[in-house]
Amino acid sequence: MDSLTLVCTVSLLAGGLYWFVCILGSAEQKGKHAVKLSGGSIEREKVQDNYNQYWSFFRRPKEIETADKVPAFVDTFYNLVTDIYEWGWGQSFHFSPAIPGKSNLESTRIHEEMAVDLIGVKPGQKILDAGCGVGGPMRAIAKHSGCNVVGITINEYQVSRATAHNKKAGLDKLCDVVCGNFLEMPFDDESFDGAYSIEATCHAPKLEDVYSEIFRVLKPGSMYVSYEWVTTELYRAEDPEHVEIIHGIERGDALPGLRSYSDIAEVAKKVGFEVVKEKDLAKPPSHPWWSRLKMGRIAYWRNHILVLVLETLGIAPKGTVDVHEMLFKTADYLTRGGETGIFTPMHMILCKKPEKPQES
């Protein structure tokens, strides 16, 4: 190989590596670059310890069944995974049915817009995003509906990410983000015209606790829609494979315990809601929501090599490789849950807070 060919080859490889590491952002929309992967609000030298702490929760399962322990559990999880989610998945931390002829980004947007269409709000009204993450759904919904959206997340790092994204998208006047626990929200009674949660209330140890808080802050006559993670009618607790899949999903997604689809409407009614509609949005004719996970296997190995290099060089904090590997294993459990039909991340329930009785 002559010197010119060698120089050209090295330059090409270097340029490709620079593009992949420094230019390539999120899988859907540039927002987080590989060289900026972090542990959220966790100091970089403590990421590995916090990853180990996260797994320690599962050695004391009773602790993640109590409301006072769950916020720390979920907060630790999202400090660890937020940057990797943004970089490898996008700004909307949820699934959506695949739509033929539509990109993942378009399918996600349609799934989000359907949520706000269901609650029937008008431009200028104020609605709640309970468990907003970095605000991907919030921005799509604000742009689509013209509503003022207030999001709440337990994770301070996600607040800073969502705020930055809102400003960059020119939606900071419509979108606001608050750091707080959706089990004890810092909002006045009857202060929202509508509410939604997209694959978020699964982190609550007791669904009635978060549903009752949402009920409290809604104005009478307002609607609430939630996309819930649940086991379906096909799940069999006596089947070892089913149990393995569900436990794998719980461990890899910071869940105190997945609920059965049959529990959701009962809880909603218990806290005072009228159930308007209930449907598993993953059922046919919807196309598989897990197809994106299966298609991402090659990308995972490509990304895993990059994360390994970045951690070895000290660019990414120690522990990033472990977190990335955990998410890949979880993706396999999620895929198996979808293929067997025992799990859905989009059991939709549409509720209404009753109107106040007219005074005679």
Calculate what percentage of the chain has a pLDDT beyond 70: 85
Q: Residue 162 corresponds to which tokens in the numbers above?
A: 């969502």
Of the candidates 78, 73, 24, the one whose C-alpha atom is nearest the C-alpha of residue 53 is: 73
How much is the pLDDT for 360? 52
Stronger pLDDT, 341 or 257, i.e. the higher one: 341
Residue 23 confidence (pLDDT) = 47
pLDDT for residue 295 is more than 90: no
Q: What was the pLDDT predicted at 150?
A: 98
pLDDT for the residue numbered 130: 98
Query: Taking the model in full, what pTM does it have?
Result: 0.89
Q: What is the pLDDT of residues 121-158, one digit of tens each?
A: 999 999 999 999 999 999 999 999 999 999 999 999 99
Segment holding 328, helix H or strand E: helix 320-340
Query: Residue 55: what pLDDT?
Result: 82
For residues 259-281, give the mean pLDDT: 98
Cα–Cα distance measured from residue 177 to residue 133, given in angstroms and rounded to the nearest whole number: 9
Q: Is the pLDDT of residue 25 over 50?
A: no
Predicted confidence at residue 357, as pLDDT, reads 78
Split at pLDDT 50, 70, 90, the class of 72 is confident
pLDDT surpassing 70 at residue 290: yes
Region 305-332 average pLDDT: 90
pLDDT at 186: 97
Q: What is the pLDDT of residue 354?
A: 98
Domains of the chain: 47-359 (3.40.50.150)
| pLDDT for 26 | 44
Q: pLDDT class for 7, splitting at 50, 70, 90? A: low
- The stretches of 123-253 forming alpha helices (DSSP H) are 136-145, 156-168, 207-217, 240-252
Query: Sorting pLDDT into bands at 50, 70 and 90, what band is 2?
Result: low
* pLDDT category of residue 302 using cuts at 50, 70 and 90: confident
The helix or strand, by DSSP H or E, that contains position 333, with its residue range, turns out to be helix 320-340
Q: Lowest-confidence range among 40-44, 156-160, 206-210?
A: 40-44
Residue 343 has pLDDT above 50, yes or no: yes
- pLDDT for the residue numbered 281: 97
Dihedral angle at the C-alpha atoms of 108, 114, 116, 120, nearest 10 degrees?
170
Q: Quick one: pLDDT at residue 159?
A: 97
Q: What pLDDT score was predicted for residue 38? A: 83
Residue 63 confidence (pLDDT): 52
Which residues neighbour 196 within 8 Å (Cβ) at sequence distance 6 or greater? 115, 116, 119, 127, 128, 129, 130, 137, 141, 224, 225, 226
